């Protein structure tokens, strides 16, 4: 029973399919996996350019801040936008293979997660160059990244099944992500935000995570306990909602694909 | 020990489907995909799921596979399940086939190591050649499917579920897959297949489950399940089968499937119709069909077009074990303009050759995806298509009864591999009412009988079919005159000559069927002929669209004038130059035979011994042997067996004559038994003619006692009819019958008392016709030398024609005397007497009375004097 719920038996499919999706993502392109860090670098460069030259943000090593935020954000954004359509796009998988349907969206998320680990791995020397302490914080970073995976996957699972019933969810997700980007402290710190907005910003489940990633990668310090607790809480809530609702709704959804 | 590996109990599943009806908001409807499904499948069983599209077969398969969860009920499956459906899933089109084997393997839960063992087997099975190392995007659809199927088949399932594998690749690969599945079955794996091919289902499985609208309609042995699927579903208005021996015609919702020995000859739509309006083709399977009549021999179904103000009525009729007919009537309710109306037939890829006369042409193999027109023409000759050598499919002759605007052939491309044949009408406005848009028949011909070479008359055969005529040969000499063996008749006062016959069916080299048609008549005749040594058996059947009556149908053998003698059972004679009719009298006779120096004795016999009137006729350059059947013969709607007989050349003439002698005696004995006897006098009715004997010697000659009727067409003697003789009371003989050439019923009553014969004749017109004169006559032997009317006189010499020697009012009677024969007196209810002598060949003295023509009644008395 526990096996069934926790999908322990199916872990192999998760692993195989994640790798497959990752390969599918870059297959045929010349630069291949390099895109895993070229994209965030370019995006970080653009943001830095805009905010240092145009908006005159004056934080020390600002590009480093942007980079430490943009990497997890890109994972999050890709997971959600791909995941929302996972059941629809990969319906044939659900019809051909007998593994649990939850494997498909999770593997998509997994593929993006591998992508994230890869890009962080490549960028790591830069972070370490600025803060040697990052090296020691790596296990903590990994722990929070995994936690982040569950949060993102939880939200994504909810979107994945609901998009089958209501196709608007998919479109809403792409618009929502645009909006979400700006209200998440990806390229800014909470110190730049007026205090009266802080409460609302913390309603965003990404806020504690971004603060954690900024702490570790940008500042090279241990995350603050408050953010850690909050990230636990958010992950638990969103994962449970996503996972349980997915398992409950997927038999119904299968009939519609 | 049996071990249940799949157990479904009370399984139910609903689908929610949105419907977007035009002009309405989307609305969701609950579709009951599966209801109340209870199935137990034992280990090692192979099951076929049968049913129409949408019956829930694939859904059931997915439930067994665990892909779908039932809304209600429980599913227990033990063992590793593999389902073959959604073949494309999980492939990476950028990666090579070889890599994809590993990707798929991993998704099926195999480690790379395990897959390495299997990969080479899979690759070998898929037989992709060098394409194995090319990215999938370079694959054709068929190659793609082959790879997918091969992977599925080699992933060692315990339970293997296959969703319609008939769509997999080319036939060679299909066969390979089927063999592989058979092997898996032998290995004790459990198989569940979904297929629309009943032969395949019967080959692969032992048990069948027939699903109908989500419910199990039948579970049992596969042959039974397949049968019930085909037959029982007729109650639901779906598949209806006509079956005779190996031929099975299945009508299903606007499609006709032809099966021969369980091989499907016409896949996909089979026989169907298509109508084009505004560049939009609507095919008959998309219509709503309703069964109007279903018998084991006939199907009448009506289909309504959903988009057009049209309906179609199809009549499908099984004619024999090799032949069926199809008629399509289109009925527009409004005036409608259509660009094209076509009736088509799709034939499986086994069919390769198109025949024209005696040549065949190979239809090209076409690799594209879209259908490709191959040929369009106006030639009205039937389609004759045959399969490649080694195929079990018979050749198909598709013959239309109408003249069409065009005749088309399409090639359907690699995917289906079909050849499509059409008869069609071009753009035209169709008025409301009934239009026959197709009528024709299809015959299945054993490939061995195709006219590959023009066949010479086979050794020993006495006939050949040439120019649509059945000709008879004696050795290498043709003895038939133009017309050969034929059927003639009159209909509504018109003579009809048949159009040349066509060989319409080959039963075997010895047995053929030839079809004769008559223009403007709703009927045709089939001559079935069968060879035997030195003889030809024939059978004539009339197939009519309606009930009607034919006048004097007769089977005729036209011969060249090689003959100088003729024989019937009772008579014989020489053909002499100026005579037309030989003999005048044989009715009925079982045979007519002629003999000449150039030709052996030819015997033209007929099996029926009653109701037949036979005639030998000589025209200038022709001798005509005819067997008539009745005056008006009613023809029922459908099939009517009219004649059956034989033409033979007789080798042993002596035997023939001995036999004839024997039969003649036998017949005479029988006739005498039926006759009357009193004192020295005896009388019997011989084929409508009264014959009088005294002390065993015959007094009458040729026609004996008879009546003749003069109509505007000429003399019609009473004996040219069918006769039934019986004794109504002791001493009274009654002979009744219908005339052959007049709508006349006749009755004779005869009594013999001592030396007197009292007789009466009565005729009843069954239809009005003109009578100018009626004569009652007695023809007596030429041994009588003198006649007596008002005074005694000698008979003159015979001449070629009839000669009247006396005519006048008779006081008492007409009398003849002479020779050693007792004198005969003849009196009757008329007083107008005539004395004649017959033409020389009949050798008769005739005493005659003229009867009032409006009175069809005559009574007479014959005295025989000096009986000692």
Task: Give SS3 for A23.
Answer: helix
Closest by Cβ to B90, choosing from A23, A96, A252? A96
**B509 with B520: CB under 8 angstroms?**
no
User: Residues A117-136: pLDDT tens digits?
Assistant: 999 998 899 899 888 899 99
**Could you tell me which chain B residue has the CA closest to the CA of A22?**
B92
CA of residue A21 relative to chain centroid, distance: 16
Give the residue among B84, B234, B72, B251 at the shortest CA–CA distance from B159: B84
**Touching check for B19 and chain A: CB below 8 Å?**
no
CA distance B184 to chain A (A): 20
Separation in Å, CA of B17 to nearest CA in chain A = 7
How many A×B Cβ pairs under 8 Å?
65
- Residue recorded with tokens 């980007």: A181
Residue B103 contacts A, CB cutoff 8 Å: yes
In a domain, A134, yes or no: yes
Q: Per the domain annotation, does A54 fall within a domain? A: yes
From A96, A99, A254, residue closest to B68, measured CB to CB: A254
B92/A92 CB distance under 8 A: no
Q: Rounded to whole angstroms, how far apart are CA atoms B864 and B688?
A: 21
pLDDT recorded at residue B722? 80
Contact B83 A96 (CB under 8 A): yes
Kindly tell me the sign of the dihedral angle through the C-alpha atoms of A38, A43, A46, A51: negative
- A92 closest CB neighbour out of B13, B66, B86: B86
The verdict on a CB contact (< 8 Å) between A255 and B16 is yes
Give the C-alpha separation, A238 to A253, whole Å.
Answer: 20
* Runs of H (alpha helix) within chain A: 2-6, 11-26, 35-49, 62-84, 86-89, 91-96, 103-130, 134-165, 168-183, 198-203, 206-213, 225-254
Report the gap between the CA of B106 and the closest CA in chain A (Å): 6
* Of B67, B81, B108, Cβ closest to residue A95: B67
Taking an 8 Å cut-off on Cβ atoms, the answer to whether A20 and B69 are in contact is no
Q: Do A20 and B95 touch (CB under 8 A)?
A: no
Pairing of β B207-212 and β B46-50: parallel
User: Which residues of chain A have a Cβ shorter than 8 Å from any chain B Cβ?
Assistant: 12-13, 16-17, 20, 23-24, 27-28, 90, 92-99, 251-252, 254-256
With bands split at pLDDT 50, 70 and 90, how would you rate the model's confidence at A146? Answer: very high
Cβ B179 vs Cβ B187: under 8 Å? no
Please give the Cα distance from B162 to B498 (Å, whole number).
Answer: 57
Domain enclosing residue A74, as ranges: 9-254
Residue B491 CB neighbour total at 10 angstroms: 18
The pLDDT assigned to B326 comes to 93
Classify residue A59 as exposed, middle or buried by CB count within 10 Å of its CB (0-12, 13-18, 19+): middle
Q: Is B147 on the interface with A (CB under 8 A)?
A: no
Q: How far apart are the first and last CA of chain B?
A: 103
Contact of B135 with B95, CB cutoff 8 Å: yes
DSSP string, B607-662: S--SSEEEEEEEETTEEEEEEEE-SEEEE-SEEEEEEEEEEEEES-HHHHHHHHHH
Q: Give the start-to-end residue ranges of the domains of chain B.
A: 4-230, 237-449, 463-657, 675-864
Interface residue of A97, A103, A166 to substitute, partner B, most B CBs within 10 Å:
A97
Contacts of B425 (CB under 8 A, 6+ apart): B340, B341, B342, B404, B405, B406, B437
* A12, A27, A96: residue with CB nearest B89: A96
Give the model's pLDDT for residue B718. 86
Q: Is residue A189 part of a domain?
A: yes
CB contact under 8 A, B15 and A94: no
CA distance A133 to chain B (A): 40
User: Would you say the C-alpha torsion B832, B836, B839, B845 has a positive or negative sign?
Assistant: positive
> How far B66 CA sits from the closest chain A CA (Å)?
7
> B4-230 sits in which CATH class?
alpha beta
Nearest CB to A92 within list B66, B82, B89: B89
Task: State how far the Cα of B318 lies from the Cα of B324, in Å rounded to an integer.
Answer: 4
Chain B residue at shortest CA distance from A26? B94
Name the burial class of residue A43, with classes exposed (0-12), middle (13-18) and buried (19+) by CB atoms within 10 angstroms of its CB.
middle
State how far residue A152 is from chain B, nearest Cα, in angstroms: 24
Residue of A nearest to B162 (CA): A96
Q: What is the CATH topology of the domain spanning B463-657? A: Beta-galactosidase; Chain A, domain 5 (2.70.98)
Q: Is A179 contained in some domain?
A: yes
Q: Computed over its alpha carbons, how large is the radius of gyration of chain B?
A: 39
pLDDT at B416: 67
The CATH code of domain B237-449 reads 2.70.98.10
The residues, ordered by sequence, that sit 6+ positions from A51 with a Cβ below 8 Å of its Cβ are A57, A62, A66, A187
- State which residue of chain B sits closest to A107, comparing Cα positions: B107
Q: Which residues of chain B have pLDDT under 50?
A: 235, 452-457, 582-587
Separation between Cα atoms, residue B683 and residue B341, nearest integer Å: 71
**Which residue from B minimizes the CA distance to A248?**
B69
CATH class as words, domain B675-864:
mainly beta
* Model ipTM over 0.90: no
* Residue A2 included in any domain: no
**In this structure, is residue A214 part of a structural domain?**
yes
Q: Closest approach of chain A CAs to the CA of B136, in angstroms?
A: 13
Backbone phi, psi, residue B846, to 5°:
-120, 125
Common-topology check for domains B4-230 and B463-657:
no
Distance from CA of A169 to the nearest CA of B (A): 18
Coil vs helix vs strand at B213: coil
CB distance from B42 to chain A under 8 Å?
Answer: no
Please indicate, yes or no, if residue A1 is contained in any of the structural domains: no
The mean predicted confidence, pLDDT, of chain A is: 88
When divided into structural domains, chain A yields a total of 1
How far apart, in whole angstroms, are the C-alpha atoms of residue B618 and residue B581?
6
Contact A27 B108 (CB under 8 A): no
Q: Inter-chain contact A96–B94, Cβ cutoff 8 Å?
A: no
- The Cα of A94 is separated from the nearest Cα of chain B by a number of Å equal to 7
Nearest CA in chain A to B31: A255
């Amino acid at each position: 029973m526990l096996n069934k719920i926790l999908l322990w038996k199916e872990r192999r499919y998760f692993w195989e399919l994640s790798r497959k999706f990752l390969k599918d993502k870059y297959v045929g392109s010349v630069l291949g996996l390099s895109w895993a860090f070229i994209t965030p670098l370019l995006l970080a460069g653009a943001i830095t350019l805009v905010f240092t030259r145009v908006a005159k943000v004056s934080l020390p090593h600002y590009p480093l801040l942007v980079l430490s935020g943009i990497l997890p954000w890109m994972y999050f954004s890709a997971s959600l936008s791909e995941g929302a359509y996972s059941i629809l796009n990969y319906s044939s998988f659900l019809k051909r293979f007998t593994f649990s349907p939850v494997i498909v969206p999770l593997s998509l998320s997994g593929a993006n997660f591998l992508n994230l680990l890869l890009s962080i791995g490549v960028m790591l020397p830069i972070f370490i160059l600025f803060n040697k302490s990052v090296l020691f914080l790596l296990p903590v970073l990994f722990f929070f990244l995994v936690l982040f995976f569950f949060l993102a996957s939880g939200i994504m699972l909810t979107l994945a099944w609901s998009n089958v019933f209501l196709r608007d969810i998919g479109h809403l997700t792409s618009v929502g992500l645009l909006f979400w980007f700006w209200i998440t402290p990806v390229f800014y710190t909470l110190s730049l935000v007026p205090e009266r907005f802080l409460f609302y910003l913390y309603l965003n489940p990404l806020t504690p995570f971004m603060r954690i990633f900024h702490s570790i990668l940008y500042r090279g310090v241990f995350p603050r306990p408050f953010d850690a607790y909050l990230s636990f809480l958010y992950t638990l809530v969103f994962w449970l909602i996503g996972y349980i609702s997915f398992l409950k709704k997927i038999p119904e959804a299968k009939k519609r694909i | 020990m049996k071990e249940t590996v799949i157990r479904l109990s009370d399984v139910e599943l609903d689908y929610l489907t949105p419907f977007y009806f035009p002009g309405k908001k989307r609305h969701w409807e609950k579709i009951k995909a599966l209801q109340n499904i209870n199935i137990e499948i034992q280990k090692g069983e192979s099951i076929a799921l049968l049913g129409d599209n949408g019956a829930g077969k694939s859904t059931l398969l997915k439930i067994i596979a665990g892909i779908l969860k039932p809304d209600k009920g429980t599913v227990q499956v033990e063992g590793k399940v593999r389902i073959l459906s959604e073949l494309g899933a999980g492939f990476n089109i950028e990666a090579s086939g070889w890599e994809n084997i590993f990707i798929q393997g991993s998704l099926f839960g195999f480690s790379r190591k395990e897959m390495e063992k299997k990969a080479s087997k899979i690759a070998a099975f898929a037989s992709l050649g060098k394409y194995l190392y090319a990215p999938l995007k370079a694959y054709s659809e068929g190659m793609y499917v082959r790879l997918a199927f091969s992977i599925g088949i080699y992933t060692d399932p315990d339970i293997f579920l296959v969703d319609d594998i008939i769509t997999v690749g080319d036939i060679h690969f299909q066969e390979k897959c089927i063999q592989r599945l058979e092997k898996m079955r032998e290995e004790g794996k459990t198989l569940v297949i979904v297929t629309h091919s009943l032969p395949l289902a019967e080959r692969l499985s032992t048990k069948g489950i027939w699903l109908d609208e989500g419910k199990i309609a039948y579970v049992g042995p596969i042959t039974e399940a397949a049968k019930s699927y085909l037959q029982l579903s007729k109650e639901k208005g779906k598949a209806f089968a006509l079956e005779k021996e190996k031929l099975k015609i299945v009508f299903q919702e606007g499609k006709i499937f032809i099966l021969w020995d369980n091989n499907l000859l016409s896949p996909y739509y089979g026989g169907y119709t298509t109508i084009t309006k505004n560049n939009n083709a609507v095919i008959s399977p998309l219509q709503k069909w309703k069964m109007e009549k279903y018998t084991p021999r006939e199907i009448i179904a009506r289909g309504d077009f959903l988009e057009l103000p049209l309906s179609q009525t199809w009549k499908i009729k099984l004619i024999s074990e090799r032949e069926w007919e199809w008629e399509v009537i289109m009925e527009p309710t409004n005036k409608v303009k259509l660009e094209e109306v076509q009736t088509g037939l799709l034939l499986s890829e086994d069919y390769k050759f198109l025949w024209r006369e005696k040549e065949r042409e190979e239809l090209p193999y076409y690799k594209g995806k879209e259908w490709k027109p191959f040929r369009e023409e106006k030639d009205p000759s039937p389609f004759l298509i045959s399969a490649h050598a080694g195929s079990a499919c018979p050749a198909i002759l598709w013959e239309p009864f109408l003249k069409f605007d065009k005749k088309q052939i399409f090639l359907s491309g690699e995917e289906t591999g079909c050849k499509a044949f059409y008869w069609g009408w071009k753009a035209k406005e169709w008025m409301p009412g009934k239009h026959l848009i197709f009528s024709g028949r299809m015959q299945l011909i054993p490939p061995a009988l195709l006219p590959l070479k023009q066949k010479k008359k086979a050794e020993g055969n006495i006939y050949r079919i040439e120019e649509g005529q059945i000709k008879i040969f004696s050795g290498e000499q043709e003895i038939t005159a133009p017309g050969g063996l034929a059927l003639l008749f009159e209909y509504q006062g018109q003579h009809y000559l048949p159009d040349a016959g066509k060989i319409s069916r080959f039963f075997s080299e010895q047995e053929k069927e030839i079809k004769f048609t008559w223009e403007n008549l709703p009927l045709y005749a089939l001559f079935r002929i069968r060879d035997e040594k030195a003889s030809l058996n024939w059978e004539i059947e009339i197939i009519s669209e309606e009930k009607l009556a034919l006048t004097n149908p007769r089977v005729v053998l036209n011969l060249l004038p090689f003959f100088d003698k003729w024989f019937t059972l009772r008579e014989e004679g020489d053909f002499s130059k100026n005579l037309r009719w030989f003999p005048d009298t044989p009715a009925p006779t079982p045979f007519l035979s002629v003999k000449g120096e150039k030709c052996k004795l030819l015997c033209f016999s007929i099996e029926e011994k009653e109701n037949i009137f036979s005639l030998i006729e000589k025209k200038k350059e022709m001798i005509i042997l005819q067997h008539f059947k009745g005056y008006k013969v009613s023809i029922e709607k459908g099939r009517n067996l009219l004649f059956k007989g034989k033409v033979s050349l007789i080798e042993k003439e002596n035997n023939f004559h001995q036999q004839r002698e024997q039969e003649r005696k036998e017949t005479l004995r029988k006739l005498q038994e039926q006759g009357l006897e009193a004192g020295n006098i005896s009388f019997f009715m011989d084929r409508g003619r009264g014959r009088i004997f005294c002390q065993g010697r015959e007094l009458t000659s040729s026609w004996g006692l008879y009546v003749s009727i003069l109509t505007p067409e000429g003399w019609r003697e009473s004996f040219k009819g069918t006769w039934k003789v019986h004794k109504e009371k002791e001493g009274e003989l009654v002979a009744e019958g219908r005339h052959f050439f007049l709508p006349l019923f006749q009755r004779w009553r005869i009594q013999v008392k001592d030396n007197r014969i009292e007789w009466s004749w009565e005729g009843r017109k069954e239809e009005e016709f003109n009578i100018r004169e009626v004569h009652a006559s007695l023809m007596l032997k030429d041994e009588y030398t003198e006649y007596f009317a008002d005074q005694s006189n000698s008979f003159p010499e015979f001449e070629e024609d009839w000669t009247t020697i006396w005519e006048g009012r008779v006081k008492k009677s007409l009398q003849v005397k002479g020779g050693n024969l007792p004198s005969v007196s003849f009196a009757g209810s008329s007083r107008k007497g005539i004395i004649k002598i017959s033409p020389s060949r009949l050798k008769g003295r005739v005493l005659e009375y003229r009867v009032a023509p409006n009175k069809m009644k005559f009574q007479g008395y014959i005295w025989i004097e000096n009986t000692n």
